[in-house]
Amino acid sequence: MAGASAYAIVCTGGGPRAAAGLRARFAAAEFRYVGLPGAAPYGVVADASLAAALRAVDAAVTLVVDAALALEPSAAACLAEAAARPDTLVAPVVLDGHGRGSGAGSLLVADPARGRARALRLAAGDAAGALAFDGRCLAGCTETLRRIAPAHPDALAWLAATAAARGAGTRLEVVAVSVRPEPDAGAPDCGDDPRHASSESRLAALASPWWSGFAAEAAARHATRTLRTFYGADLNVADPAPRACAVVVGTPQDPAAFETALHANGLRLEAVSYAAGAGAHACADRALRNRGDRYVAFVDARTVVQPGWLDALVAALERDPLAAFATFAPAGLDARVTVVAAARIPECERLERFGTVHGALADLALRVMRERGRGIVRVADALAALPPRVEDAAFRARYGCAPADAHASPPATGLRFGGIASIIMLSWNAPEYTRMAVESIRAVTRYPHEIIVVDNGSDAATCAVLATLETQHGVRVVYNGRNLGFGAGMNVGMAHARGDVLVILNNDVIVTEGWLEDLIGALERRRGVGCTAPRSNRVASAAQVETNYVETDAMHRWAAERRRVLRGRGHLADRVVGFCMCLDRKVIEGIGGFDPRYGMGNFEDDDLSVRIRAAGWGMFVCDDVFIHHFGSVSFKANAVDYRERMEQNWRVFCAKWGLGELPLYAPYDPRALARGGFEREAHYIPLPAIA
């Protein structure tokens, strides 16, 4: 129409103040307001409905905007230009109040459990996969908007309208411009409100498969995960997309076409290897060795996979943190199409040699289910045509069936440890604290145990006290003759230890009733956990608790009541402090001991924690175990500059794990350090040989 402006602005809500601000920024543009007359800007007549506003527009292109968004003329011009094509809707990247991407469209994902669809907001990097817009800000030809706009312009109505339009051939695109919210304006929520259930159920026909949300995020190289904090709250975090590789069992008839099908997923395959012939087992074993944040897919060369097969299996594992295997097989487990979550399997569980890779993988799954309590997720989506099952004579000899027919036995419930615990302490002068620690252990510990005290070159008076402890309390004392530092000294003690549980314990502690039984009990119950730790009055982590006792007897009563109230409770952790660490011997056999490069001490426990997690073991802090810690008495007794030692070892830790030059006490993410996995050649620290 002659004289019409380049584009029109239709404001849908936001309140009179925000709407007036939007009108002021677009004084020269045709402007309509949808809502109550009293909320319309001065001089603008309110339209009762979005349809009425669009009918009244003269411009060829219209921008529909919630006034809560601070749309600028430069961004509007870009949107209007991109929207000038027929049958096209465009939207900007919407930022949150901190300038981070809070949405570039939404993905409608089926939710079979609730029989409806969910709207998952996509980050900016996921824009190419957006299936719907929530109407906060979008642009299109006016005729196109008149045809598809919903009667009520709320988020769910816009999602349904734009998704339906996409299905009918309208292009939905995200333009590389950003829009910020007005101050104090919140972004609409369009996903989990139960009041929207009926509306979302109507969107189910437009929804993508349930795993599409994961696929869209993985394509943008990230994954949203839920973490449980030690306070018991759930925290959503955006991790880098997990790594993935594929092991093809056998040789496909058309390798190029087969690999093309393997790669048809949002999650990128880093490598594809072929396990065939005499080297099949070695190939499969190499793929599984690293226990980092990675998924290993096994696919039979005769299997026909459909696009999204890997996304579906990995998404199923992301939804079920207690499972370690996902498969399309209706029963048993073999290598026809199975994905393994490597990070959930402790490093000690290895792939044993069988007649076929199918048998070896099935055996690993059965052992991990029985010994570590990790389950199998069966995905029913028809994304793979499975070939006939494979026979394995060695597997049948052990289990009495083929791998595809194997039935998982229930997780083991008996004792995991049947021997003794080796309690290892380091001594460097301050003998009165070592005596108190030993006496407290002998007074309250019921579990079979041995006490090993490694002396790091103490003076004669201290050695005399240690000799008395040998005579009176049966302590084994190992004399180094010189100060090897905390890590190297503890490694000597672990090399002398005979127990199937190793307890690293400071010598400046007083333990309380049930401490060792409960630390070991947590290992018994949580079979994927390789290290447990207590709470304390003084510990540089979230394991520290406030106390109200003033003397030892009161401390024991306080700890006993705490144990009664919190029996069996605790939380998984990514870092524990080395004043007390209860370790499965298999952990030390797999990753080695403390790194001696940290000298006198500090950060060697952070280093060990990273390696424990990287090797697939969990760590657990026991709320019901309390140990009194005096704190740094050896450093004080020997006049060591604690601050200088901390700064020096922090630089060592940062250099080893690639953190750069961070200031002391700067927070770091131990999950990120463990994500790369445990590489034996780089990370294993051997214990010293004992004559």
Cα separations in angstroms, 194 against 114, 199, 429, 504, 563: 10, 10, 64, 49, 39
Q: What is the pLDDT of residue 665?
A: 81
Architecture, CATH, for domain 238-405: Alpha-Beta Complex (3.90)
Query: Which H or E run contains 214?
Result: helix 212-219
User: For the residues of 194-209, what is the DSSP string, one character each?
Assistant: GGGHHHHHHTGGGPBP
Structural fold of domain 8-208? Spore Coat Polysaccharide Biosynthesis Protein SpsA; Chain A (3.90.550)
Provide the 10 A C-beta neighbour count for residue 550: 8
Structure tokens at 483: 């100060």
Provide the 10 A C-beta neighbour count for residue 470: 14
Cα 519 from Cα 367, distance rounded (Å): 24
- Judge whether 241 and 267 are in contact, CB under 8 Å: yes
Q: What is the pLDDT of residue 507?
A: 94
Q: What is the pLDDT of residue 636?
A: 65
Query: Which H or E run contains 273?
Result: strand 271-275
Q: What is the pLDDT of residue 639?
A: 60
Cα 427 from Cα 94, distance rounded (Å): 59
Query: What class has domain 421-677?
Result: alpha beta
Kindly report, as residue ranges, where domains of CATH 3.90.550.10 are found in the chain.
Answer: 8-208, 238-405, 421-677
Q: What is the pLDDT of residue 204?
A: 77
Structure tokens at 27: 């004084």
Contacts of 120 (CB under 8 A, 6+ apart): 106, 107, 108, 109, 191, 213, 216
Mean pLDDT by 10 residues, the chain (691 residues): 70 85 92 90 91 95 92 93 93 73 73 74 60 90 94 84 90 88 54 64 80 88 83 80 97 96 96 95 96 97 97 96 95 96 96 97 96 94 94 96 89 85 95 96 96 96 96 96 94 97 96 97 94 94 91 96 95 94 98 95 95 97 96 66 85 95 89 95 95 72
- Judge whether 193 and 109 are in contact, CB under 8 Å: no
Cα 141 from Cα 135, distance rounded (Å): 15
89 DSSP 8-state letter: E
Residue type, 339: V
Q: What is the pLDDT of residue 631?
A: 80
Cα 20 from Cα 443, distance rounded (Å): 76
| CA angle 424–547–618, rounded 5-degree value | 45
Q: What is the pLDDT of residue 634?
A: 66
Strands 384-385 and 323-327: unpaired
Cα 401 from Cα 487, distance rounded (Å): 48
Give which of 414, 344, 249, 332 is closest to 613, Cα–Cα: 344
**Rg, Å, the chain Cα set:** 31
Cα 691 from Cα 686, distance rounded (Å): 15
Q: What is the pLDDT of residue 188?
A: 47
